[in-house]
Copies of this chain bind each other. A is one copy, B any other.
Amino acid sequence: MRVLVTGAGGMVGRKLTERLASDGTLRGETITELDLHDIVAMEAPSMPGVAVRTHVGDLAEAGAAARLAASRPDVVFHLASIVSGEAEADFDLGYRVNLDGTRALFDALRLAGHGPRVVFTSSISVFGAPFPEVIADDFHATPLTSYGTQKVMSEALLADYTRRGFFDGVGIRLPTICVRPGRPNRAASGFFSGIIREPLNGKPAILPVPRSVVHTHASPRSAVGFLLRAAEIDGEAVGPRRNLNMPGVGVSVAEQIEALGRIAGPEAVGLIREEPDETIWAIVKNWPTRFDARRARELGFVAETDFDAIIRAYIEDELAGKIA
């Protein structure tokens, strides 16, 4: 089993890589080769007996994708992407990385001709307001960000390349991944994690949007679970509609904060300061709220069912079970 991960240096990419290294298998087969790609240098996990290679570069650059496809990976996890805030701030960079890079990778895999499973991380930001109360699986994708647009376009490519038999793709529309460990990134969704993570670490956090905002979340642990499920799932069962809304926990910011209070007490909640940010609000107000995600559930994708579980996953996975 040869595996390629793009965006392996990102948060989800690192967690996926750690999981692959600790499992040593994928789809019931022993991993023999692991190619890790990112635009910045990353650490390779120690996997005795496995050829682990790291690749640093820009997928949209001529020849870069072909070099990755040359190892003829059986499973490709295509996670490489710049985040929503960055894609909105830098139009050209967003299209280059999120669209051209994806297309270059897909084309390189098409030309390699061996037909791998390709798991693509799309996003719920393919959807744009106004929304029904619960978003059904057949609701149209009308993004209101360039990031969402680039994901929609990549999804369309994934489906067509799959239909043509070039590879066997599954696109997973991730809800907001929460609680993100580490430092804040430029994702407009960053505060959803920040208001939980920072207080759990005894630090102040800023809430830039109203508490009434409802949004759907899944833990990094669930995100890795989605990726593995997408790698192993029977393509026939997915059918021609290859892009799936992932399940998650739909809660208001107020409910997130209540869960934090239940788990970490009022001192933690007291560390959250409201500081409205028009730029973030302009993006977030057009984001989807709750999902049906029936197809994904039926296909065996599993997420947390309440926000307390999401906070506990963070404490277990990142804080060794202890709150600061």
Contact = CB atoms under 8 A, between A and B. Distances in A.
B240 A164 contact: no
Q: How many copies does the complex hold?
A: 2
B156 A152 contact: yes
A157 B163 contact: no
Interface in A120-162: 128, 138-144, 146, 149, 152-153, 156-157, 159-160
B140 A149 contact: no
A124 to B, nearest CB: 14
A160 B156 contact: no
Contacts of A91: 164
Contact of A240 (B142, B153, B160, B240): B142
Contact of A142 (B128, B142, B143, B241): B241
B143 A149 contact: no
A139 B141 contact: no
A238 to B, nearest CB: 12
A180 to B, nearest CB: 26
A157 B164 CA distance: 23
Contacts of A164: 91, 146
Interface of A: 91, 128, 138-144, 146, 149, 152-153, 156-157, 159-160, 163-164, 240-241
